[in-house]
């Protein structure tokens, strides 16, 4: 499956070859995917790459490797569209509590907001938003607009005609901007507050946060870079305004926290049975996407579930087995990875297809 690329990096931009020795003393083994990290630097032109894998046989911190000192085990980084899985989990929990139904139209919660230019919130369900089958124009594709609120982002989107008729899969950050507002309308709290209350605190994700208007990263953190497509030079973009990303991509996290979150989610610890089934149901998106999470079938027959995050200065991908017992998160400290369509599948296959 092609790598999903949320184009938040476009909107936010104003713009070795041997393994390093970075590892933890408690590391029980060298994860199979670690041998692929240098390729992300040599062929993918990432300044630094790192990964953390947890397997049923691993203990403690799992298996960590990096290509150099640019990324450390405990570093906080921007996780981009992985935010969507957190938002989807909250929405599904609310469905399990009877506070909403996935078949509810957006109009029920946000009357009059999705209107004009062929857009109609009366025809769009929450399930369509979660599965990216609403057809709503992706506000990040309008490079003339720089919205710093969900309302502004949605108005940018509804100034354009839909990308497709409802029912066709088309990845759009606008869907999750809308869902963030739905969470507020249903709970009386922001999606950030609900994510903290329902996910971050119970799972003790001590390195995970939603920054709001904060432009800096919490300590500890490394640097984040974006590459000039013309000259190829790197610019430091560690400091940026995350409000444009919002519910579609503002999350800050760590390698360990993302592994823990997806292990809990896929392991059935965050959702009731019916909502767990809905989470992994890809029928609406014709096998491409579930509800805030997507599958990738590897050549060995294993299917992994997870999400990626692509935002200015950062690219991250988490993948896990269906039961959540084997998880892998890797990241680079830039938003561009050359040969990503071949490098990422090779890394995942090395990890999950190893015998």
Which residues are known catalytic residues?
Answer: 81
With b for 16 or more beta-carbon neighbours within 10 A and e for fewer, the 92-114 pattern comes to bbbbbeeebebebbbbbbbeebb
Half-sphere exposure of 68 (CA within 13 A, CB side): 16
Q: Tell me how far apart the alpha carbons of residues 353 and 355 are, in angstroms, rounded to a whole number.
A: 6
Judge contact between 122 and 107, C-beta under 8 A: yes
List, in order, residues 6 or more apart from 151 with CB less than 8 Å away: 113, 181
Q: Tell me how far apart the alpha carbons of residues 180 and 22 are, in angstroms, rounded to a whole number.
A: 38
Q: How many CB atoms lie within 10 A of CB 355?
A: 4
Half-sphere exposure of 262 (CA within 13 A, CB side): 36
Tokens at 105, concatenated = 């139209």
How does DSSP assign 148-178, residue by residue?
-SHHHHHHHHHTS--SS-TTS----THHHHH
Tokens at 139, concatenated = 């506000």
With b for 16 or more beta-carbon neighbours within 10 A and e for fewer, the 294-307 pattern comes to bbbebeeebebbbb
Q: Tell me how far apart the alpha carbons of residues 262 and 255 are, in angstroms, rounded to a whole number.
A: 11
């Amino acid at each position: 499956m092609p790598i999903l690329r949320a184009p938040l990096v476009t909107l936010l931009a104003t713009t070795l070859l041997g393994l390093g020795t970075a590892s933890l003393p408690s590391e029980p083994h060298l994860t199979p995917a670690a041998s692929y990290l240098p390729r992300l630097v040599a062929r993918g032109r990432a300044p630094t790459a790192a990964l953390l894998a947890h397997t049923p046989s691993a203990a403690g911190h799992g298996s960590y490797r990096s290509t150099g000192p640019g990324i450390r085990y405990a570093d906080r980084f921007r996780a981009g569209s992985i935010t969507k899985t957190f938002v989807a989990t909250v929405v599904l929990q609310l469905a399990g509590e009877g506070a909403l139904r996935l078949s509810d139209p957006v109009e029920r919660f946000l009357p009059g907001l999705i209107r004009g230019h062929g857009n109609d919130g009366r025809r769009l369900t929450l399930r369509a938003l979660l599965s990216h089958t609403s057809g709503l124009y992706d506000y990040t594709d309008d490079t003339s607009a720089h919205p710093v609120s969900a309302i502004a982002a949605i108005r940018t989107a509804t100034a354009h005609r839909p990308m497709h008729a409802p029912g066709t899969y088309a990845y759009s950050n606008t869907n999750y901007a809308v869902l963030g507002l739905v969470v507020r309308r249903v709970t009386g709290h922001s999606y950030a507050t609900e994510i903290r209350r329902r996910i971050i605190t119970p799972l003790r994700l001590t390195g995970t946060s939603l920054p709001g208007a904060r432009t800096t990263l919490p300590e500890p953190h490394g640097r984040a870079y974006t590459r000039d497509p013309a000259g190829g030079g790197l610019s430091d973009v560690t400091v940026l305004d995350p409000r444009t990303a919002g519910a579609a991509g503002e999350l800050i996290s760590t390698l360990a926290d993302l592994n823990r979150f997806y292990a809990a989610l896929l392991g059935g610890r965050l959702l009731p049975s019916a909502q767990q089934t809905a989470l992994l149901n890809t029928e609406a998106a014709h096998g491409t996407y579930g509800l805030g999470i997507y599958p990738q079938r590897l050549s060995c027959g294993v299917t992994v579930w997870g999400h990626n995050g692509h935002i200015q200065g950062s690219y991250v991908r988490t993948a896990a087995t269906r039961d959540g017992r084997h998880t892998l998160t890797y990241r680079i400290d830039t938003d561009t990875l050359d040969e990503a369509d071949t490098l990422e599948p090779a890394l995942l296959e090395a990890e999950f297809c190893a015998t």
